[in-house]
């Protein structure tokens, strides 16, 4: 009977020790995953496309199109390096300009693309837009009548 009590005590002690070590290890490393990994500056890469949306009538017919950035909202953390692969699959010339970070792809001809990068060194909300002024008589056509609405935002969060 004493041997049984000793073994039971030993097993109980081992269980307590194992539980304590598990808590110690988890407590020291903290939660794993994107939230923990995102605290130090990272390189954030986005594929940016001059997309095209459709204007639909109440009768479900397409009555027009418009240009837009896809995606039109980017979120990064302050200090991140931001890499933008910008492509223009439209039939007109466009560009990507982010004045606050001195970013400008220059004119991207139809099917053109360019990669730009910058460091998001200040927090806030900033606008990106197309920098090509509309000229419908140029060949290829330069931007579109909805030039002023081809815009999006980059939100830089404080760490
Ligand atoms: Cu444009």
Terminal CA-CA length for the chain: 61
C-alpha 24 to ligand 1 mean position (Å): 56
Confidence (pLDDT) at 80: 97
Q: Would you state the structure tokens that stand for residue 104, as one six-digit string?
A: 């400008």
pLDDT at 35: 52
Contacts of 67 (CB under 8 A, 6+ apart): 50, 51, 52, 53, 90, 94, 130, 144, 146, 149, 150
- pTM for this entry: 0.74
Spans of the chain, pLDDT less than 50: 21-31, 33, 36
Q: What is the Å distance from ligand 1's center to 155 Cα?
A: 22
Distance in angstroms (rounded) separating the CA atoms of residues 54 and 65:
4
Taking a C-beta distance cutoff of 8 angstroms, is the pair 120, 82 a contact?
A: yes
Beta bridge partners, 55, equal: 64
- Which pLDDT belongs to residue 25? 47
Q: What is the pLDDT of residue 4?
A: 62
- pLDDT at residue number 139: 96
94 C-alpha to ligand 1 centroid (Å): 4
157 CA to middle of ligand 1, Å? 28
């Amino acid at each position: 009977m004493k041997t049984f009590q000793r073994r039971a005590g030993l097993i109980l002690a081992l269980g307590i020790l194992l539980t304590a070590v598990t808590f110690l290890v988890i407590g020291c490393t903290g939660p794993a995953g994107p939230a923990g990994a995102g605290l130090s500056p990272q390189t954030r890469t986005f594929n940016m496309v001059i997309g095209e949306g459709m204007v639909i009538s109440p009768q479900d017919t397409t009555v027009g199109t418009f240009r837009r950035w896809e995606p039109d909202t980017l979120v990064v953390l302050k200090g991140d390096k931001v890499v933008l692969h910008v492509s223009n699959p439209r039939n007109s010339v466009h560009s990507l300009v982010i004045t606050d970070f001195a970013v400008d792809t220059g004119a991207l001809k139809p099917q053109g693309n360019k990669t730009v990068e910058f460091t998001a060194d200040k927090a806030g909300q900033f606008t990106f837009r197309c920098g090509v002024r509309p000229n419908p008589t140029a060949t290829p056509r330069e931007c579109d009548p909805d030039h002023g609405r081809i815009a999006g935002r980059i939100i830089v969060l404080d760490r």
